[in-house]
Amino acid sequence: MLGKLSWSAIPFSQPIPMAASFVVIVVILATLAWITLKGHWPYLWNEWITSVDHKKVGVMYCALAFLMLIRGFTDAIMMRSQQALAFNAPGYLPPEHYDQIFSAHGTIMIFFVAMTFMIGLMNFVVPLQLGSRDVAFPTLNSVSLWLNAAGVLLVNMSLVIGEFGKAGWLSFPPLSELKYSPGVGIDYYLWALQISGIGTLLTGVNFVTTILKIRAPGMTLTRMPIFCWTSLASSLLMVAAFPILTATFAMLLLDRYLGFHFFTDSAGGNSMMYMNLIWAWGHPEVYILILPAFGVFSEVISTFSGKPLFGYRSMIIATMAICILAFGVWLHHFFTMGAGADVNGFFGIMSMIIAVPTGVKIFNWLFTMWGGRVRFEQPILWALSFMITFVVGGMTGVLLAVPPADFVLHNSLFLVAHFHNVIIGGVLFGAFAGYTYWFPKAFGFKLHEGTGKAAFWCWTIGFYVAFLPLYVLGLEGMTRRMQHYDVAEWRPWLLIAALGAVIILFGIGFQIAQLVISIRRREKLRDLTGDPWDGRTLEWSTFSPPPHFNFAVLPNITGAEAYWGIKQKAIEQRRLTDLPDYKPIEMPRNSPTGFVVAFFAVVTGFALIWHIWWMVIVGLVGAFATFVVFAWRDRSEFELPADELARIDGERRKARIGIVEGREKGITPVKYSGSHEEDPNRLGARAEPDGGHKGPASKRIVTGYGFWIFLLSDFILFSGFYAAYAVLSHATAGGPTPKLFDLKILAVETACLLLSSFACGMATIASNARNMLWTQIGYLVTGALGLGFLSLEISEFARMLAIGAGPDRSAFLSAFFALVGLHGLHVAIGLLWLGTMMAQIWAKGFRADIMRRGLCFALFWHALDIIWVGIFTNVYLLGTTP
C-alpha cells in the first residue's frame, strides 16, 4: 500500500537532521497558523498563488531563492565547521550525513538558488524592459514557478522522510546506481530535478518567445537592453541544454527502476557516457547562470555611471558567442577520464577561447565607467566587487582549462575554490546587484543603505577569507568532499576558511536585517517617481510598483535606451509627452493551474520515490485533468476599460512632472539632440523610426513559435537518447541482429505513421476551412492510424520481451527500448491530446484558441514522423543490414 515507506524512513536516531527538521516544521506550522489567524489566505491565493503576473511570479522566484540560500548556506557552514574540527578526529557529522550535506549543498545552490534567482530577475524585468504587458505564455509561466517549487519541496522533504543523495551534486554512476545506492536519496535527487527541470525548460521556451515575438513597437533587436539579450541567450541555453539533462536522468532512472544498463558496470553499460551527457548539459548550465548576471551588471554599471553602455554591439556579439561556444567545452570537466590528446587538446583550446568574449565584456564595463560620474550606490558596489572577483575566478578557470594542469588540480579544493569564485563572485553578486537595483521597482521603496553596505562588505571579505585558502589547500593536495583528514599543514587554512564562512553568515544576517528595517521605514525610503536611480530602460518609465498591466499604452520606441531618450526629450521641452489615446486592453485572468499541477507533481514524485504505484497514477491523472480543465475554460482574459487606464496613467503622469521640471534630485539632464536619429550607416539601421518592428506578433504566431521552440527541445531530448544508442549499441555482444527486428512489421508501422501524418494535414486544412465533419474525420483517421502504430509497437516489444531480449539483457537493448519507447510514449501522449482536442472542437467549435492548439498538435504529430525517420533508418534498417 505504501511501497517502501515505513516509520523507519524517519531518522529518529540522528539528532542533527531530527532537530533541524523539527525547527523547520515548527516554523512552517507557525507561519501557516499566522496566515490563517490573520485571514491572509484569500489575499495569498488571489494575489500571489494563482497570479500569472510576470512581476509577482518573479518576486516569488526570488523569495524562494533567498529561502533556499539560507538552507544551502546552512549546509555550507556545517561542512566548513566539520572540516575545521575533523583533523585526526571524526568531527560531529558522520560520513553518511556529511555526504548528504555536500550533495544537497551543490544541488540546492545551483538549481534552487542561482538559477531560481536569475529566472526570478528575468521574470520581473524582461517584459518591462521590452515594453510588453506580460510574458508570451503567462499561465505556463506560473506552471514553471510552481514546478520549481515542487522540486524544492521534494529536496527538502528528504530531510525528514528518508534521506538525500550521497553521490555528489551530479550523482555520478556507478555510485548512484541501485547496486551502490539502494536508498531513496538518489531517487529524491532525480525526481526533484526532473520536475523542476521541466519548469526550467518551459521558462526557457517562454522567454525565447517573449523576447523574439512580443516586444513593443519600435523595440528592434538591436535596441533591446543588454539584460534582454543575455536573458535571450540564457533562455536559448535552457531550451537546448535542459533536454539533455532530462534524457540523462531518465536513463539513470530507467537503470534504477527497471533494470536497464545505461551506466551500470555490467552488461555493457558505460558510466563514462553519463559524465559525457551530464556535462553536455552542465557546462551550458554555467552560462545559463552567469549570462543574466552579466546583463544585470551591464544595466547597473551603465545606470550608475550615467553613461550609455560602452560597446553595446560588441556586448551582444560577445553574449551570443558565449551562447554558442558554451556547447563546445564540456569535456574540460573530465579531462582526466582518459580521452586522448586530440580530444583534450581540442576542448582545452575551446575553453580558453570562451574566455575571450568574457574578457570583452569586462573591458566594456570598465570603459563604461571611465569618464562617467559613478554614484556608489549598493548595486554598483556589488558590480565592482564582481569585476575583481570574477577576473580572479576566470583566470583560475583558464588555468584549469590547460589539460596537464587539470591532471594536477582535478577534484582538488583548487577546483572548488575556482567555481565558487565564479559562482559567488559572478552569479550571486549579480543576483544581489539585481535585487538591490530592482527592489524599489518591485515594492515601491528603496532598500536601507547602511545595512546593505555592511552586507556587501561582509560578503566580499567573507568570500575572500573563505575561498582563497581553498586555492592553497588545493595546491597542497587536499581533495574535495573529505569528511576528515590527517595532514597537519591543512588545518590552519581550513580554520581560516571556516572564519570566512562566519563572515559570510554576518553578511546574510545584515541582508535579513536590511529587509526588515527597509520594510519598517518604507515611508521614508519611498520611491514616488518610479525612477529612483535616474534609469535608462523602460522599466523606470512606469510606477513603482508597476500596475499589473505594466503600460497603459505600449511605448513607442525610436532608439536605443528607450526611456532615456523619452526622458531627456521631456526634460528639454519641460513637458510630458502628449496625452495618449487610451484603448481598452485585455489581460490574462489568474489561474490556479500552476499550483494544482505542481501539487500533483509532488504527489507523483513522492509516490515514485517510495514506489507507491497507485499514488503515481493518481498524481498523473490529476495533472492531466488539471490541464484539460484549463484548456476547457471559456474566458481566459478580462478587459480593462479605457477610462480606468486613463485614471491610473494620469496618476503616473502627475508623479512624473517633478522629473520633467527638474525638481527631482538625482536626475541628470544632458544636452539632448532633439531628434533621436540613429546612425544610418550602422548595421541593421532602418529609415523608419520604428526600425521596422511593428510591435507584438499575433497570438497564433506567438503560440506556434513557442511550440516550435518546445519541439526543438524535444528533438534535443531524442538526440541524447540517440547518442546513448549510438555509443552503446555495439558495446555488447548481441548488438542489433536481423533476427531481432521484423522488417515487415516495421514497414506497416512506418506506413501507419506516414498516412496518419497525411490525415492530420487533411484535418488541418478542413479546420482552416471551418468544416466540422471533415476535420473530425481527418482527426479520427489520424488517431486510428496512430493507435495502429502504437499497438504494433507494443506487440513488437512484447515479442522481444517474450524471447528474453528485454532491456535488462544488454546495454544495446536498454538503449533500443528507451529510444523507441520514448517515441512510442510521444505517440501515446499525442493520442491523448488528440482525443481531448477533438472533444473540444466538437463542443466549442472552431474557436481561435482551439485552432491555435490544433496548429501545435499538427506540428507535434508531423515532428514525430521526422523522429521516426531517424529511428527506422538508423536503428532498424542499419541494424539489419548485413
The interface with other proteins within residues 324-343 (CB under 8 A) comprises 324, 327-328, 330-331, 337-340, 342-343
Torsion of CA 840, 843, 844, 849, to 10 degrees: 0
Q: DSSP code of 479?
A: B
3-state secondary structure of 586: strand
Q: Are the beta carbons of 434 and 480 closer than 8 angstroms?
A: no
Nearer to other proteins, 199 or 736 (CB): 736
For residue 793, the minimal CB distance to other proteins (Å) is: 17
Q: For residue 794, what are the CA distances in angstroms to 816, 818, 829?
A: 14, 13, 15
For residue 719, the minimal CB distance to other proteins (Å) is: 4
Q: What is the footprint of other proteins within residues 214-253 (CB under 8 A)?
A: 236, 240, 244
If we measure between CA atoms, which residue out of 185, 152, 160, 155 comes closest to residue 19?
A: 160
Nearer to other proteins, 186 or 702 (CB): 702
Q: Which stretch binds other proteins (CB under 8 A): 137-145, 640-648, 835-843, 853-861?
A: 853-861
Nearer to other proteins, 821 or 870 (CB): 870
* Distance (Å, whole) CA 229 – CA 377: 25
Q: Which stretch binds other proteins (CB under 8 A): 87-95, 421-429, 693-701, 816-824?
A: 693-701
865: contact with other proteins by CB under 8 A: yes
Residue 639: phi and psi, rounded to 5, are -105, 135
748: contact with other proteins by CB under 8 A: no
624: contact with other proteins by CB under 8 A: no
280: contact with other proteins by CB under 8 A: yes
Contacts (Cβ under 8 Å, ≥6 apart) of 587: 133, 134, 548, 549, 637, 638, 640
353: contact with other proteins by CB under 8 A: no
Residue 16: phi and psi, rounded to 5, are -70, -55
Nearer to other proteins, 414 or 861 (CB): 861
781: contact with other proteins by CB under 8 A: no
720: contact with other proteins by CB under 8 A: yes
735: contact with other proteins by CB under 8 A: no
Q: DSSP code of 216?
A: P
* Out of 703, 767, 775, 814, the residue judged to bind other proteins by CB under 8 A: 703
726: contact with other proteins by CB under 8 A: yes
Q: Are the beta carbons of 284 and 351 closer than 8 angstroms?
A: no
3-state secondary structure of 323: helix
Nearer to other proteins, 726 or 777 (CB): 726
* Distance (Å, whole) CA 101 – CA 75: 6
Nearer to other proteins, 108 or 244 (CB): 244
* Out of 513, 618, 754, 787, the residue judged to bind other proteins by CB under 8 A: 754
Nearer to other proteins, 271 or 483 (CB): 271
395: contact with other proteins by CB under 8 A: no
* Out of 560, 709, 790, 822, the residue judged to bind other proteins by CB under 8 A: 709
Q: Are the beta carbons of 72 and 108 closer than 8 angstroms?
A: yes
Q: What is the footprint of other proteins within residues 635-674 (CB under 8 A)?
A: 635-637
Given the C-alpha cell 586555492, which residue does it identify?
A: 471
Nearer to other proteins, 232 or 470 (CB): 232
* Out of 731, 780, 781, 787, the residue judged to bind other proteins by CB under 8 A: 731
Q: Which stretch binds other proteins (CB under 8 A): 17-25, 657-665, 795-803, 858-866?
A: 858-866
* Out of 87, 367, 624, 715, the residue judged to bind other proteins by CB under 8 A: 715
Residue 217: phi and psi, rounded to 5, are -55, 135
For residue 617, the minimal CB distance to other proteins (Å) is: 33
For residue 865, the minimal CB distance to other proteins (Å) is: 5
688: contact with other proteins by CB under 8 A: no
772: contact with other proteins by CB under 8 A: no
* Out of 31, 46, 737, 873, the residue judged to bind other proteins by CB under 8 A: 873
CB atoms within 10 A of CB 525: 20
For residue 579, the minimal CB distance to other proteins (Å) is: 26
* Out of 87, 624, 672, 708, the residue judged to bind other proteins by CB under 8 A: 708
Q: Are the beta carbons of 169 and 107 closer than 8 angstroms?
A: yes
**Buried b vs exposed e over 164-184: b needs ≥16 C-beta within 10 Å?**
bbbbbbbbbbbebbbeebebb
273: contact with other proteins by CB under 8 A: yes
Which regions of 387-480 does DSSP assign to beta strands (E)?
none
Contacts (Cβ under 8 Å, ≥6 apart) of 255: 173, 177, 178, 261, 262, 263, 264, 269, 814
* Out of 712, 777, 784, 787, the residue judged to bind other proteins by CB under 8 A: 712
777: contact with other proteins by CB under 8 A: no
Nearer to other proteins, 342 or 523 (CB): 342
Q: What is the footprint of other proteins within residues 178-207 (CB under 8 A)?
A: none
3-state secondary structure of 341: helix
For residue 746, the minimal CB distance to other proteins (Å) is: 8
* Distance (Å, whole) CA 287 – CA 44: 34
Contacts of range 45-48, beta carbons closer than 8 Å, 24 or more positions apart: 45/592, 46/590
Q: SS in 3 state form for 769-819? A: CCCHHHHHHHHHHHHHHHHHHHHHHHHHHHHHHHCCCCCCCCHHHHHHHHH
Nearer to other proteins, 639 or 651 (CB): 639
Q: Which stretch binds other proteins (CB under 8 A): 29-37, 61-69, 765-773, 827-835?
A: 765-773
Total residues found in the chain within this entry: 882
Give Cα 835 to chain centroid, integer Å.
31
* Distance (Å, whole) CA 471 – CA 492: 13
697: contact with other proteins by CB under 8 A: yes
* Out of 556, 719, 776, 836, the residue judged to bind other proteins by CB under 8 A: 719
Given the C-alpha cell 504505484, which residue does it identify?
A: 613
Q: What is the footprint of other proteins within residues 563-592 (CB under 8 A)?
A: 586
Nearer to other proteins, 462 or 830 (CB): 830
* Distance (Å, whole) CA 697 – CA 214: 6
631: contact with other proteins by CB under 8 A: no
Q: DSSP code of 585?
A: E
Q: Are the beta carbons of 424 and 463 closer than 8 angstroms?
A: yes
Given the C-alpha cell 519598517, which residue does it identify?
A: 520
755: contact with other proteins by CB under 8 A: yes
841: contact with other proteins by CB under 8 A: no
743: contact with other proteins by CB under 8 A: yes
For residue 455, the minimal CB distance to other proteins (Å) is: 40
Q: Which stretch binds other proteins (CB under 8 A): 463-471, 525-533, 749-757, 805-813?
A: 749-757
CB atoms within 10 A of CB 265: 14
716: contact with other proteins by CB under 8 A: yes
Q: Are the beta carbons of 181 and 165 closer than 8 angstroms?
A: yes
Contacts (Cβ under 8 Å, ≥6 apart) of 18: 11, 12
Q: Which stretch binds other proteins (CB under 8 A): 38-46, 129-137, 571-579, 700-708?
A: 700-708
For residue 208, the minimal CB distance to other proteins (Å) is: 8
877: contact with other proteins by CB under 8 A: yes
For residue 782, the minimal CB distance to other proteins (Å) is: 12
Q: Which stretch binds other proteins (CB under 8 A): 448-456, 612-620, 742-750, 783-791?
A: 742-750
Query: How many chain residues touch other proteins (CB under 8 A)?
Result: 87
Q: Which stretch binds other proteins (CB under 8 A): 357-365, 460-468, 478-486, 690-698?
A: 690-698
Q: Are the beta carbons of 565 and 111 closer than 8 angstroms?
A: no
Q: For residue 374, what are the CA distances in angstroms to 257, 366, 378, 441, 798?
A: 58, 11, 12, 21, 71
